[in-house]
Amino acid sequence: MQQKTKKIKSVVVENGFEKEVEIEVPVGPPASWGDPKALRLLGKRNTRPDGPDKVTGRARYASDVILPGMCYGRFVMSPYPAAKIKSIDLGPAERINGVKAAVLLLQPGADVLYHGQPVAAIAAITPEIAEDAIRAVRVEYETRPHVVDLVKATNPNAPKVRSDVPSNVQYPGGSTKGDVDGALKSAAAMIHETYEAQTRLHCCLETHGHTVKWDGDKLTVWASTQFVTGVRDEFARDTGGPQNVTVITEHMGGGFGSKFGRGTEGIAVAQLAKKANAPVKFLLSRAEEQLANYRGPGVRAEIKLGASADGTLTVGDVKVWNNGGASNANSPLDQGFYIIEPQARRVQRWGVLTNTGGTAALRAPGHPQAAVIWDMALDALAAKLNMDPLEFRKKNHNDPVRVAEWDLGAKVIGWNRRQRTPGSAAGTRKRGVGMGSATWGGGGSKSADCTIEIKPDGKVRAYSAVQDLGVGVRLYVQSIPAEELGLQLADVEPIIGHSTFGPGKGSGGSTTTASVAPAIKMSAVQAREQLAIVAAKKLGAKPEEIEVVPRGRFQVKGSPARGLAWKELCALLPPSGIKAKGDWNEASDLQASGVRGCTFVEVEVDTETGKVTVIKALGVQDCGFVLNRLQAENQVTGGIIQGIGTAILEDRRMDNVTGRMLNPNFEDYKLCGSFESGGVNITLDPPYRTLGPEERGIATIIFDNPTGKVSGIGEPAIIGVQSAVANAIFNAIGVHVKEQPATPDRVLAALASLKGGRA
Amino acid sequence: MKAFQFVDVRDLKSASQALGRNPDSTRILAGGVDLVSELKDRIIEPELLVNIKTIPGLNGLKMDAKGLSIGALVTLDTLEFHTGLWKSYTALAEAAQSVGSPQIRNVGTLGGNLCQRPRCWYYRDEAIKCIKKGGSKCYAAEEDADNKFNAILGGGPSYIVHPSDCATALVALGATVKYSDTQGQIRSVSADEFFLLPKENPAQETVLRHGEIVTEVWLPAPAEGTRSTYIKFKEKDSFDWAVSAVAVKVVAGPSGLVRDVSIVLGGVAPKP
Ligand SMILES: Cc1cc2nc3c(=O)[nH]c(=O)nc-3n(C[C@H](O)[C@H](O)[C@H](O)COP(=O)(O)OP(=O)(O)OC[C@H]3O[C@@H](n4cnc5c(N)ncnc54)[C@H](O)[C@@H]3O)c2cc1C
């Protein structure tokens, strides 16, 4: 029988000229990541190749680019939360020495809807002059009444946020399943509570923005973005087509869902640079970042939850209000539950407009909010039932992987140290243990290309337009070809973050790795196939008889003496080397969607001060095939740190009086760091032990779920953290902090409500 | 920040002269940790900064049988790492150690720490002209205002809280603040009286008039049997200002009988 073949592109030399040809190669077995135990590099704890660059400051971010004659951009922002712009006079700013350009971003007559909304932009030869200039712009506003509080905004007499819609309470929706009213009547135990997950800011350590340079019609953009080619296409509107735009993102300092587009600052910077006839750097100041940029919407929910005496979750009746700022927002709670589903349920949801600016995806958009609300409700009901919250969840959910993760997490955190009755610990420093869960997709799709180039001197380069959002993309761009070609990590140079490297992929939805890694794998497979043909020819064998062994040696199966060392083999390549670009369609089976994950946390609550200290946190996360264990663990650790901040610190303060945000900085908008998260990383390997009562830090387990397929986990890692902290506090003190985050004042207020209730 | 002139001065008198009479147009620069953030946030827009770090003799630290003298330019980490201080003036060492972050303590001076401006977010908002900035009202006192971190004692007409950790400890330890007046004369005032309540003058937190410069902090040698401590409560474990703090000094006789005690609260009132 004839063996099946496929055509791949390669380069040959004919009469001294190189030319690209299609060659036929046998179709190998379907692509597979292989047996994890047999792999040398993938799945191990390798460090990222750009670590030293980042630590030493060599890594170049958009903020680091300095060009000759460069100007600096700044926004003129609305000082008012609600106003109509009567007039704008850029003149006084333009007349300042050193100001090179000024552009309007809103026209007179437009409404401003939040404090910090960009109105105009300035470019000047120093950031300081730009700061002077934005203050010189004369904007006349006709102020209107504002409302910045979610609950206040739902009052029919509240000021209207938008003149084009009749009410602040918008976008109604909902669904019903089963006999909700009947089930509520017959429930053996019930809770009726209102919870609120706060609005948060993205707090990217590198602010949003770009450094841009025009050369005639051509535009070069150094962007701090999570979507290199997407930003290219947006700038293409100013250049007459994407062919005139090059976007470069060698490194970027975080996006968390807020850096897909070029944003208002991107629209401004291209215009400013054209007007100024000079390169312009417009990286937002911290205040601009916190005010003019996006937020992750807050969610408020009123929940009735009922169960039968055996702990079956019979009914949920849920009202959800999403704080979309000046536009709409929604959350997974709009379906009326999160992961643990009641038998009968009714949900009514609304989007509420407030004068607080726009929203954007923030690491698992809507999920942490939905999770913390739902998990608080579940634990409150479990307490009513006098049931272990984990047993309660298991009674109502039976996905085997999830249940196995829960059990493992419970064992490692020391679940049996929790208070059997919430709040029953003695003393003023009360310990408690809590849990939360996540659900996510994380599958990939055909999007980014990867080209692998091998030169006669043996050098290997892997190119992809994809950017590294910070997760360690370079490492898998490097390690997948290295694994396939039998090489060491350092033998492959990963080159990413450049729009000219072919189609790219936005780093969103935790889909990047599952999209890009299979593309790299297929390119690596193809590179190996091309090399096998060269080797076979030289060794007088058939390509399918060639095997690759460590150090990049290609040899004939069964007779290892007949082989070529890597350098010998590459020396046979045409002068320009070879290029390989695999077909994603053959790789689609290398990725899958659908991950779970859970978090367990132990806290100590000082009931005299209200202070919550996280003693330890554990993330258990599955991601199918593990490309790199260390980077996967890092994702979970990062999610836990950010989640602890969400749970106990991050508190945007909107002033009802002035409508202004009072803490657009990092002093009063408090972020979690190593002090607040317990300080150390605890590395765990199987067989997993139970953490000691006094052990502190963050532990992660990449749960072994041998699907053989890659899934992304950047987002699920954060989802259950706020839940786990909130429920650990409940376990410690016997009352939930229903309006998040659990800052000391709110913890004390919760404790006071408990006393009031008992008195 | 707005462009400004900068002058290094060699002695107190020329410093006062350079500072002149107009309080809006000049400022003293020590470590600059607070001053530069006020400049960047455009809370103040002086035309001239007078750098007092070039004045010799303001960064000495001397401890002897009579007491402890700390120059105004002594940095907070110098206090933090002084073993003698931990032994005899524990509250001050603890207070200094509790300030900000290592970088801030490495640069920030004791004089600057005492003279730093309030953290009230209405005061720190460029667009809000509150009573501390010559406006007519305290925004934190408005109905529905967000005054989570404002004064619960001693407020009115302004409701700031004093942000300095060292100030609270120094008042408890019975310190004296020495400063040079506009004529170059050295004056002394107890740490307690150095700080003002807003009802005395809502625009400033200390008795210093424009052009006056803190030169030294003096602490008497602790009486036999003295113990002191400073406890700071903050929301965030890494750098943060006190939500509330307390400095306590106790003098106990040989029998353990307490002869003298002073308890000073920080973070809750416009002065310690
Ligand atoms: C992020 C951050 C965190 C902080 N955390 C804390 C904290 O936890 N606790 C705390 O107490 N402080 C804190 N600070 C405030 C403060 O900046 C430092 O405590 C520091 O000591 C200030 O000293 P400096 O020498 O840098 O003062 P500067 O910034 O140079 O001066 C501060 C003010 O005092 C005036 N001044 C300085 N020296 C004199 C003098 N000799 N005589 C008269 N006036 C003078 C200046 O004109 C200015 O108005 C923090 C600041 C920041 C930015």
Share of chain A above pLDDT 90, in %: 90
Angstrom CA distances, A161 to A152, A658, B76, stand at: 12, 15, 48
Find the CB nearest A132 among B2, B128, B145.
B2
Looking at residue B220, which CATH number applies to its domain?
A: 3.30.465.10
Whether residue A381 sits in one domain with residue A403: no
User: Residue B252: what pLDDT?
Assistant: 95
How many domains are contained in chain A? 4
What SS3 string covers A342-367? CCEEEEEEEEECCCCCCECCCCCCCH
Whole-angstrom distance, CA of residue A568 vs CA of residue A554: 10
Q: Could you tell me the two tokens for B128?
A: 């809000």
Whole-angstrom distance, CA of residue A396 vs CA of residue B68: 68
Whole-angstrom distance, CA of residue A421 vs CA of residue A382: 10
* Angle of CA points A672, A675, A680, to nearest 5°: 105
- Is B127–A670 a contact, with Cβ atoms under 8 angstroms apart? no
Per residue in A632-649, pLDDT (tens digit) is 999 999 999 999 999 999
**Is residue B108 in a domain?**
yes
Whether residue A614 sits in one domain with residue A469: no
Looking only at the bridges linking them, the beta strands covering A299-307 and A189-197 are antiparallel
User: Residue A743: what pLDDT?
Assistant: 98
B164: CA distance to ligand 1 center in Å?
8
* B chain contacts of residue A668, beta-carbon cutoff 8 Å: 121
Mutate to test the pocket of ligand 1, among B99, B161, B177, B230 (most ligand atoms within 8 A of CB): B99
Evaluate whether A399 touches A384 at the Cβ level (below 8 Å). Answer: no
The predicted model scores a pTM of 0.96
Per residue in A168-225, pLDDT (tens digit) is 999 999 999 999 999 999 999 999 999 999 999 999 999 999 999 999 999 999 999 9
Per residue in A235-273, pLDDT (tens digit) is 999 999 999 999 999 999 999 999 999 999 999 999 999
Strands of the sheet with A492-496, listed across from one edge:
A492-496, A460-464, A451-454, A578-580
* Angle of CA points A287, B233, B113, to nearest 5°: 65
Q: Which of A366, A392, A418 corresponds to the end of one domain? A: A392
Whole-angstrom distance, CA of residue A367 vs CA of residue A720: 9
Provide the β-strand partners of residue A288.
none
pLDDT of B98 over the 60 cut: yes
pLDDT of A78 over the 50 cut: yes
Whole-angstrom distance, CA of residue A616 vs CA of residue A637: 12
A601: CA distance to ligand 1 center in Å?
38
Put simply, whether A281 touches B (Cβ < 8 Å) is: no
pLDDT of B202 over the 50 cut: yes
User: Residue A756: what pLDDT?
Assistant: 67
Of the pLDDT bands very low, low, confident and very high (cuts 50, 70, 90), residue A5 is confident
Whole-angstrom distance, CA of residue A74 vs CA of residue B42: 15
Kindly give, in sequence order, each residue whose CB lies less than 8 Å from that of residue B200, ignoring residues fewer than 6 positions away: none
**What is the extent of the structural domain holding B182?**
57-266
Put simply, whether A666 touches B (Cβ < 8 Å) is: no
Looking only at the bridges linking them, the beta strands covering B67-71 and B176-180 are unpaired
**Is residue B27 in a domain?**
no
Kindly give, in sequence order, each residue whose CB lies less than 8 Å from that of residue A466, ignoring residues fewer than 6 positions away: A228, A448, A473, A477, A496, A497, A504, A505, A507, A512, A516
Evaluate whether B27 touches B46 at the Cβ level (below 8 Å). Answer: yes
Higher pLDDT among residues A310 and A679, named by residue:
A310
**What is the extent of the structural domain holding A550?**
5-59+444-590
pLDDT of A1 over the 70 cut: no
Higher pLDDT among residues A11 and B101, named by residue:
B101
ipTM for the predicted complex: 0.96
**Is residue B14 in a domain?**
no
Whether residue A643 sits in one domain with residue A540: no
Whole-angstrom distance, CA of residue A580 vs CA of residue A585: 15
B32: CA distance to ligand 1 center in Å?
7
Of the pLDDT bands very low, low, confident and very high (cuts 50, 70, 90), residue A502 is confident
Whole-angstrom distance, CA of residue B85 vs CA of residue B89: 5
How many domains are contained in chain B? 1
User: Residue A504: what pLDDT?
Assistant: 87
Query: Distance, in angstroms, between A654 CA and closest chain B CA?
Result: 8
Whether residue A111 sits in one domain with residue A101: yes
**Is residue B10 in a domain?**
no
Mean pLDDT, range A450-477, rounded to an integer: 95
Whole-angstrom distance, CA of residue A609 vs CA of residue A597: 33
pLDDT of B201 over the 70 cut: yes
Whether residue A361 sits in one domain with residue A287: no
Kindly give, in sequence order, each residue whose CB lies less than 8 Å from that of residue B152, ignoring residues fewer than 6 positions away: B268, B269
* Mean pLDDT rounded to a whole number for chain A: 95
**Is residue B138 in a domain?**
yes
Whether residue A305 sits in one domain with residue A287: no
Put simply, whether A149 touches B (Cβ < 8 Å) is: no
pLDDT of A7 over the 90 cut: no
Whole-angstrom distance, CA of residue B201 vs CA of residue A83: 35
- Is B146–A653 a contact, with Cβ atoms under 8 angstroms apart? yes
Per residue in A573-615, pLDDT (tens digit) is 999 999 999 888 888 899 999 999 999 999 999 999 999 999 9
Looking at residue A306, which CATH number applies to its domain?
A: 3.30.365.10
Per residue in A119-137, pLDDT (tens digit) is 999 999 999 999 999 999 9
User: Residue A759: what pLDDT?
Assistant: 34
| Preceding omega of B157 cis (within 30 degrees of 0) | yes
**Is residue B102 in a domain?**
yes
What is the helix (H) or strand (E) element at residue A493, kind and residue range?
strand A492-496
Q: Which of A392, A413, A433 corresponds to the end of one domain? A: A392
Closest residue by Cα to atom 4, ligand 1, is: B100
Q: Collapse the DSSP code of A191 into the 3-class scheme (helix H, G, I; strand E, B; otherwise coil) and give the result.
A: strand
The finding on whether B147 has its CB within 6 A of some atom of ligand 1 is no
Per residue in A354-406, pLDDT (tens digit) is 999 889 999 999 999 999 999 999 999 999 999 999 999 999 999 999 999 99
Share of chain A above pLDDT 70, in %: 99
CA nearest to A650 within chain B: B236
Kindly give, in sequence order, each residue whose CB lies less than 8 Å from that of residue A138, ignoring residues fewer than 6 positions away: A87, A88, A89, A91, A92
User: Residue A670: what pLDDT?
Assistant: 98
Of the pLDDT bands very low, low, confident and very high (cuts 50, 70, 90), residue A758 is very low
* A chain contacts of residue B144, beta-carbon cutoff 8 Å: 656-657
